[in-house]
Amino acid sequence: MIEKKRVLDTFFELVSIRCSTLDEREIGDLLTARLKELGAAEIHEDNAGEILGGNCGNIIANFKGTVKDAPVLMLTAHMDCVEPCANIKPVLKDGVIRSDGTTILGTDDKAGVAAILETLRCLKEGNISHGDLQVVFNVAEEGGVNGSQNIDQNLLHADFGYTLDTHGHPGTAAFKAPGKNQLEVRIQGKTAHAGIAPEAGHNAITAAGHVLTAVPQGRIDEETTCNVGKITGGTATNVVAEFCTICFESRSRDKAKLDAITQRIVDSVNTAIEGTGCTVDIAVKKDYDPYELSPDALPLRYLRKAAEKCGFPVHLEEAGGGSDANFYNSYNIPTAVLAVGMTDCHTKEESILEQDLYDAAELTLALVQEVAAKH
């Protein structure tokens, strides 16, 4: 059984450590030490941090099981948080944990990290039977799941896994998630003095206005969205703007729809720019592909059994955002995303029910036991 006070103390310790994206060294060193204390047979840190310009890589730890022939189970969570994540002061009141209102709380994803650590502690202290385990703590999840994208795949050998990193009560899981593309539209105009000879120029910002009214935006259908997220351009009010850059994203849980909406944006931009005197360059970058687990996939089969033993209802949902699981699924490791109770993530109003923190750890431990019990 989990120890609630230990789970709470661990969570409070984790969120008190600043862990900005690409600056995960302190939390990475702490987790490496914890994994060693908990009996990891091997601990690796890959070079994802070096690739991304950060100071810490993904941490991959292998735990030798006591049950032969059981599938190798992977448990993952990410180390980094969105800003502001320095000097977090968690406050527990009436069964709810919040920050003091000046920062985020950091449940995304320290609630997942805490659940994994408590599971490992219980396995060791209780001498609980389990199969081989891989524990992966990713860097740079926020802002593009870049840590898992650049993980050393040679270090991965799990048969299936769980990424502990979504909202909802434990027992909720995302079995389907969208892929995402990013588009950078660079409009090139012609500069001129705005007061003396504006007609001699071609205003890139004006051309951008044509683009913004032409491209699809918002929700396209129940599984497809696109968004204009950033626009920059020009140098001064007395200069006809020579350049303007617009940044878009497109998402869909259907790969064909993702490709279609991305191409629709590209076509709309090219059509809108005609007659403006400007030229355009469009760069499309794939962040990750969508995934969908079948109803009988290993992660969902074991989830149903473990949740039933814990008394937690199972709720399977189609996610609207990506996670490290998108890449793990692309690496042929079927991975579901488990809820850990996080609410209002990425805001200073972020919170988590104290009980959800405990239930996430209890369910994670039950999953490990269920995999072993089958064999």
**Active site (catalytic) residues:** 80, 141
- Answer yes or no: are the C-beta atoms of 253 and 176 closer than 8 Å: yes
Measure the CA–CA gap between 352 and 306, rounded to whole angstroms: 22
Which of left, alpha, beta for 255 (phi over 0: left; psi -120 to 50: alpha)? alpha
Burial class (CB in 10 A: 0-12, 13-18, 19+), 373: middle
Cα angle, residue 93 at apex, residues 91 and 95 outer, rounded to 5°: 115
Residue at token pair 């850059």? 245
Which amino acid type is present at position 113?
A: V
- Answer yes or no: are the C-beta atoms of 343 and 201 closer than 8 Å: no
Length in residues, the chain: 375
Other residues' Cβ atoms within 10 Å of the Cβ of residue 327: 25
Helices (H) and strands (E) in the chain, counts: 10, 17
